[in-house]
Amino acid sequence: MNLRHFFALGALALAPALGSAQATRLRVSFTLDTLPNGLTLIVHEDHSVPIVTTNVWFHVGSGDEKVGRTGFAHLFEHLMFMGSDNAPYPQFDRLLEAAGASNNGSTTEDRTNYYEFGPSSSLPLMLWLEADRMGWLLSTMDKPKVDLQRDVVKNERRERLENQPYGLVRDIVPPLMYPAGHPYSWNVGGSMADLSAASVEDVKDFFRRYYAPNNATIVVAGDVKVDEVRALVRQYFSDIPRGPAIERPAPAAFTVRDTSAILEDRVQLPRVYLNWHTAKSTDTDTPALQVAAYVLAGARTSRLTQALVYGGEVATAVQAYDDAKRLDGDFSIVATARPGKALDTLQTVIDQQLQRLAADGPTTRELDQARNAIEASFLRGVQTVSGKADQLNEYYYQTGNPDGFQNELDQLRAVTAADIQRVVRKYLQGPRVMISVVPQGKPELAATRKRVTQ
Amino acid sequence: MIRRVLFCCLSVPVVVQAQAAFDRSKPPTLPAAPRLVLPVVLASTLANGVALRVVSQREVPLVQVTLTIAGGSRLDGTESGIASFTSRMLTESAGGKDVNAIQSELAYLGATLSSSATWDAFVVSLNVPRRSLDAALALMADVVQRPSFTGADIRRQRDLRAAGILQRRDQPTALAGLAFNSLVYPVNHPYHRSPDGDSAATARLDSVAVRAFYTRRFVPAQAKVIVVGDISPAEASNAIGTAFGAWSSPAAARRSPPVTASAVSNAAPKVFLVDKPGAAQSVIAIGGPGVPRSSPDYAALVVMNTLLGESFSSRLNSNLRETKGYTYGISSSFGWTPIPGAFRIGTSVRTDVTDSSLIEIFREVRAIRDSPVGVVELARGKAYVALAIPGDFETNGQIAGQLVELDSFGLPLSSVSEMITRVNAVTAADVQRVARKYLPADRATIVVVGDLAKIRAGIEALKLGAVTVLDVGSIVR
């Protein structure tokens, strides 16, 4: 297998550079086609291993849900595996397994994806199954299916949130960060009450509105030939009628109100969550916010990691990340106290470090370190056909260009010290939502300090 | 031809002709599955005994370097947790450099370097862009051969470990796993205890103990280095020779002591309950002794377990998730470790159906013992195992991982091809035979972590076996 990679047909054209100055070129080759019914097909050939993945994005997520039906996009994702006209339940999973393939799906605020992974021979089956549920899902949909997957989804919620320490924070943050009615003002998983309320009619409405070829993109990546993929996709998907034009939510601009909340939970150690309103993924400030997150907590020697965990020794762990979504974004710093430490102590250190970064900016060494680490993580991201396929779909949805790898990397590499100072001042010193999770009966451990104003 | 021309027009609407002779009602007939092509591995040995394996993979300009030494946490002896702690300490200060200097340089190189211990091995893993390989390897050489074990570094990591042990009390899934291992493996078995040790042993960790353990165990003649990635075998050999060729050790190579203890097979099922008042779910772990990887039944066991609880369509998941709606997921597994591990079924279920879930789990375990699996089901399980194998060799890390795992059982890479042949030969009778022989239907160890006020009566009414309530403090010490 080692030599086969030499003739990888330019699947990934890379010219490694010397030194830290520049610049690996990342190019993921692709073809882009659109069927008359609006379905977009992106194919990426990578012949290094005889495997294939299909990755379908429907451009609908929890942000498209109606009030009173939170969690519905995710519940619907589960129902997509419950059988269609020509592949009645439970054939979807059974046929794929019999071909050596696995599958899954996931839902975010902005999109729902479905993917299969297996030997290259399983591609026709993957596409046939995806087409059948895109075109012929509803006639077999009934209340028992909805009730069953409602139970499964509620169990998922219990396992991931309610039975996890700190898990309920995921319910608390969105409605404090975003105004009522904003598409991101509820947790993707939704509430138990809303899940209980979902009906078969809701399922049918949702499918007719959002699960149409003109709202979907399919990426096929792996050991395939683009013309064969095109022929298969045309054969399986062409009969699916175009759906109605889709109205996207367009939330109004807003300002976060400074908020503090305390959650008493079954935890041994207190944890503080600090959240700021930032910018959407295509905003020009987003790359600087992502580099700022790395400078703050991306490595052992990052500023907060040093000040809280290894130098200051008041926390056991700290994370920082900018979650830039299609319509809006938010930045989080999450720190867990060491035994005996109160969250006020952690909050003081975090405030000081943010002020220092805003005042002085990162050093050249910090910036170079962040750039190199981020570039290496890009390389790791293109090691698998699954990673490339999902990213092609992501870039296409966000920018219209599937091969956005190098562009995103260039934007991250172009971030300057002044950019970091600017975005820290602009976003991370303004109003914030602060959640303290403390052991039950110990509210005195919560963070209480007022925001430091400049 | 026409199809192609019509369809390749980018974004131009065209009228597509109706497809002739296409029957959507039948799944497509698939071409023959691709043949497995295994990576080419070049093996050599440095003068000091370090074994080297190299696989050239030129697709992405990254290199994976994995160094392993057999041993790991099973060598803890009375110093609970020392193997994993010593491994963890390697990536602190080393080679005369302060920990922050090392970590800053690694990040600057775009490298990730980690050091850990499993129950059975010490593993140091480097992943780095090709252009930074030499500099990163020099740091890896320092941490493996010249760790400082300063008092300050040790105290800091010791405090973090103590906090981590404390936090386990919050995690019902972790509690179930720790309780299960402490019950299914007897007290003198190396897998009985958590590899991370307990609070008291953690408090005793110091430079003297860590250095003594390191000196005994980190011996070049027992080290194996696997290099996978954008590098030629000759370049890899030179680079590893530079990094590890001068490594010497005062300690003689020693084999791990033989393990005579084996997992507990109960005379009758035993039930152990752990109280988590207010828990939203009950975490269940059920199992018993496992099987040696060298067993001639290995392929049949893998197929049987796929059908029982490994694949999504498995009987346990189809029943408890997809039919009953009791859980988000349930799975079963055999611990394929150098010392035979355990068989275990694991899930989290709704509190009010905890007893019903136990009934259904045992129903499925008995069913696969009592009746042969069907033809279609068997074919699905075999294909799911055999055809998925090429996908295990996609990344440098996966290839290195496969080589490490096979090596831990003394198996050559070619055994992967043999496995496919053996899986394809498994019959329904084989599946039933190994289910009867190895699944602990009537002698299982059953652990449930949940809200006992709500679930205890229901579990006791099942009369599965003697019920013991365990204190959280006895599981996480």
pLDDT of B250 reads 80
Q: Taking CB atoms and an 8 Å limit, are B16 and A35 in contact across chains?
A: yes
How far is B160 from B74, CA to CA, in rounded Å? 22
Domain range summary for chain B, segments of one domain joined by +: 42-244, 270-475
Mean pLDDT of A306-321: 96
Q: Is B313 on the interface with A (CB under 8 A)?
A: yes
Q: Taking CB atoms and an 8 Å limit, are B130 and A16 in contact across chains?
A: yes
pLDDT in tens, B252-283: 767 777 777 888 888 899 999 999 999 999 99
pLDDT of B257 reads 72
Q: How far is CA B205 from CA A228, B153, B161, B196, in A?
A: 61, 12, 11, 12
Closest listed residue to residue A394, CA positions, set A103, A106, A70: A106
pLDDT in tens, B56-89: 999 899 999 999 999 999 999 889 999 999 999 9
Q: Does the structure show a pLDDT above 80 at A433?
A: yes
Closest listed residue to residue B351, CA positions, set B470, B459, B471, B467: B459
Q: Is A105 on the interface with B (CB under 8 A)?
A: no
Q: Does the structure show a pLDDT above 70 at A24?
A: no
Which of residues 159 through 198 in chain B touch A, CB cutoff 8 A?
159-160, 162-164, 166-167, 169-172
Amino acid at A208: R
Q: What is the CATH number of domain B270-475?
A: 3.30.830.10
Q: Is A125 on the interface with B (CB under 8 A)?
A: yes
Q: Taking CB atoms and an 8 Å limit, are B395 and A48 in contact across chains?
A: no
Q: Taking CB atoms and an 8 Å limit, are A97 and B384 in contact across chains?
A: yes
Confidence band of A445 (pLDDT split at 50, 70, 90): very high
Instruction: Say which range, A21-30, A205-214, B426-435, has the weakest mean pLDDT.
Output: A21-30
Q: Taking CB atoms and an 8 Å limit, are A121 and B322 in contact across chains?
A: no
Nearest CA in chain B to A86: B25
Which of residues 405 through 444 in chain B touch A, CB cutoff 8 A?
none
Q: Taking CB atoms and an 8 Å limit, are B167 and A165 in contact across chains?
A: yes
Q: Taking CB atoms and an 8 Å limit, are A2 and B321 in contact across chains?
A: no
Answer whether B42-244 and B270-475 agree in fold. Answer: yes
pLDDT in tens, A240-263: 999 999 999 999 999 999 999 999
* A257 CB burial (10 A radius; 0-12, 13-18, 19+): exposed
Q: Taking CB atoms and an 8 Å limit, are B99 and A227 in contact across chains?
A: no
**Interchain CB contacts (distance < 8 Å): A and B:** 290
pLDDT in tens, B128-164: 999 999 999 999 999 999 999 999 999 999 999 999 9
Match 């973090």 to its residue by tokens. B160
Percent of chain A with pLDDT over 90: 92
Q: Residues of A with CB below 8 A from B170's CB? A: 165, 266-268
Q: Residues of B with CB below 8 A from A382's CB? A: 60
Residue A362, SS3 per DSSP = coil
Q: Is B460 on the interface with A (CB under 8 A)?
A: no
Q: Residues of B with CB below 8 A from A19's CB? A: 131
C-beta neighbour count of A193 within 10 angstroms: 10
A165: cis peptide before it, omega within 30°? no
How far is B97 from B211, CA to CA, in rounded Å? 17
pLDDT in tens, B398-454: 999 999 999 999 999 999 999 999 999 999 999 999 999 999 988 999 999 999 999
pLDDT in tens, B157-198: 999 999 999 999 999 999 999 999 999 999 989 999 999 999
Amino acid at B174: A
Q: Is B453 on the interface with A (CB under 8 A)?
A: no
Confidence band of A17 (pLDDT split at 50, 70, 90): very low
Residue partners of B184: CB distance under 8 A and separation at least 6: B263, B264, B287, B288, B289, B342, B344, B445
Q: Residues of B with CB below 8 A from A21's CB? A: none
Residue partners of B227: CB distance under 8 A and separation at least 6: B52, B53, B54, B55, B63, B64, B65, B236, B239, B240
Q: Give bridge partners of residue A21 from the DSSP assignment.
A: none
The top-level CATH class assigned to B42-244 is alpha beta
Q: Residues of B with CB below 8 A from A120's CB? A: 34
CB-CB contact of A183 with A249 (8 Å): yes
Q: Residues of A with CB below 8 A from B383's CB? A: 97-100
Q: Taking CB atoms and an 8 Å limit, are A35 and B30 in contact across chains?
A: no
Nearest CA in chain B to A374: B110
Q: Taking CB atoms and an 8 Å limit, are B16 and A238 in contact across chains?
A: yes
CB-CB contact of B77 with B189 (8 Å): no
Amino acid at A437: V
pLDDT of A13 reads 37
Q: Residues of B with CB below 8 A from A307's CB? A: none
pLDDT of A450 reads 62
Percent of chain B with pLDDT over 70: 95
| Residue A424 distance to chain B (closest CA, Å) | 22
Nearest CA in chain A to B317: A152
Mean pLDDT of A353-382: 95
pLDDT of B18 reads 45
pLDDT of A20 reads 41
Mean pLDDT of A125-130: 98
Nearest to A98 among B170, B279, B380 (CB): B380
Q: Taking CB atoms and an 8 Å limit, are B383 and A100 in contact across chains?
A: yes
Confidence band of A23 (pLDDT split at 50, 70, 90): low
Closest listed residue to residue B343, CA positions, set B180, B230, B214, B216: B180
Q: Taking CB atoms and an 8 Å limit, are B110 and A373 in contact across chains?
A: yes
Q: Taking CB atoms and an 8 Å limit, are A368 and B31 in contact across chains?
A: no
Nearest to B108 among A24, A98, A369 (CB): A369
DSSP string, A220-276: EEES--HHHHHHHHHHHHTTSPP----PPP-PPP--PPPEEEEEEES-SS-EEEEEE
Confidence band of B20 (pLDDT split at 50, 70, 90): low
Residue partners of B349: CB distance under 8 A and separation at least 6: A155, B281, B282, B284, B320, B326, B327, B357
Q: Taking CB atoms and an 8 Å limit, are A152 and B328 in contact across chains?
A: yes
Q: What are phi and psi of B92, to 5 degrees?
A: -90, -145
Q: Taking CB atoms and an 8 Å limit, are B312 and A93 in contact across chains?
A: yes
pLDDT of B261 reads 80
Q: Which domains does chain A have, with CATH numbers?
A: 35-237 (3.30.830.10), 259-445 (3.30.830.10)
pLDDT of B306 reads 98
pLDDT of A286 reads 97
pLDDT in tens, B305-352: 999 999 999 999 999 999 999 999 999 999 999 899 999 999 999 999
pLDDT of B251 reads 74
Which of residues 411 through 430 in chain A touch B, CB cutoff 8 A?
none
pLDDT in tens, A67-89: 899 999 999 999 999 999 999 99
Q: Is B108 on the interface with A (CB under 8 A)?
A: yes
Confidence band of A449 (pLDDT split at 50, 70, 90): low
How far is A165 from A153, CA to CA, in rounded Å? 19
Nearest to B280 among A31, A162, A231 (CB): A162
DSSP state letter for A17: P
pLDDT of B477 reads 86
Nearest CA in chain B to A94: B313
Q: Residues of A with CB below 8 A from B163's CB? A: 269, 316, 338-339
pLDDT of A452 reads 44
Residue A300, SS3 per DSSP = coil
Nearest to B30 among A102, A122, A238 (CB): A122
Q: Does the structure show a pLDDT above 60 at A4?
A: no
Amino acid at B355: D
Q: Residues of A with CB below 8 A from B384's CB? A: 97-98, 100
pLDDT in tens, A217-229: 999 999 999 999 9
Amino acid at A282: T
Mean pLDDT of A104-132: 98
Q: Is A227 on the interface with B (CB under 8 A)?
A: yes
